[in-house]
Amino acid sequence: MERRLASAEETRAFAAEVGAAWGPGDVVLLEGELGVGKTTFVRGYLRSLGWEQAVRSPTFTLLQLYPTVPPVVHADLYRVGSTQGLGLEELLENHVALIEWPDRLGGWLDPDACWRVTLEFDGEGRRVSVRAPGGGAAAERRAPD
């Protein structure tokens, strides 16, 4: 699924739309350059779960937990060398996990088992593409020739 997002509010609304499908155990890899809108996307998802308090970028805390339904863990791995000892793996089972800079995971998560949200700069706005788990191969198999 691909979409143009003309404003930060459209990024937040889009997160609510795609996030309606997520539940505990879903892992969302948030890809895209510095400042492209990954944390904005997380804010929109949390807002859709009724979270009204602040959503801070976990750049220093690395992980931020939200006692929403479903519970959410938001990770920002930008400053992380290794995710060993973070406790993220244990949290994945019963949270929706949204992970900025997932390349820092060092490969222990299978990207094909995750949702992938990729944001790109596009003039004043952004472009986003979303791939469901197993989406690549499954989508190709379903595609008519």
Ligand X SMILES: Nc1ncnc2c1ncn2[C@@H]1O[C@H](COP(=O)(O)OP(=O)(O)OP(=O)(O)O)[C@@H](O)[C@H]1O
| Interface ranges with Mg ion (CB under 5 A) | 38-39, 57
Could you tell me the two tokens for 107? Answer: 């490969």
Instruction: Tell me which of ligand X, Mg ion, none is bound by residue 10, counting a contact when its beta carbon lies within the kind-specific cut-off of 5 to 8 angstroms.
Output: ligand X
Query: From the list 18, 26, 39, 45, which residue makes contact with ligand X (rule: CB under 6 A)?
Result: 39
Query: From the list 16, 48, 49, 57, which residue makes contact with ligand X (rule: CB under 6 A)?
Result: 57
Could you tell me the two tokens for 54? Answer: 């602040």
Contact between 36 and ligand X by CB under 6 A: the answer reads: yes
- Contacts of residue 100, defined as CB under 8 A and 6 or more positions apart, other chains included, come to 30, 38, 39, 42, 74, 75, 76, 77, 78
Query: From the list 5, 97, 98, 109, which residue makes contact with ligand X (rule: CB under 6 A)?
Result: 5
Query: From the list 15, 19, 38, 99, which residue makes contact with ligand X (rule: CB under 6 A)?
Result: 38
Instruction: Tell me which of Mg ion, ligand X, none is bound by residue 37, counting a contact when its beta carbon lies within the kind-specific cut-off of 5 to 8 angstroms.
Output: ligand X
Please, what is the minimum distance in Å from the beta carbon of residue 122 to ligand X?
8
Contact between 137 and ligand X by CB under 6 A: the answer reads: no
Judged on CB neighbours under 10 Å (0-12, 13-18, 19+), 80 is middle
Report the distance separating Cα 117 and Cα 115, nearest Å.
7
C-alpha angle 8-106-119 in degrees, rounded to nearest 5: 20
Contact between 40 and ligand X by CB under 6 A: the answer reads: yes
Report the distance separating Cα 28 and Cα 94, nearest Å.
14
Contact between 8 and ligand X by CB under 6 A: the answer reads: yes
Q: Does the CA dihedral 14-132-29-90 come out positive or negative?
A: positive
Contact set with ligand X (CB under 6 A): 5, 7-8, 10-11, 32, 34-40, 57, 76, 100, 125-126
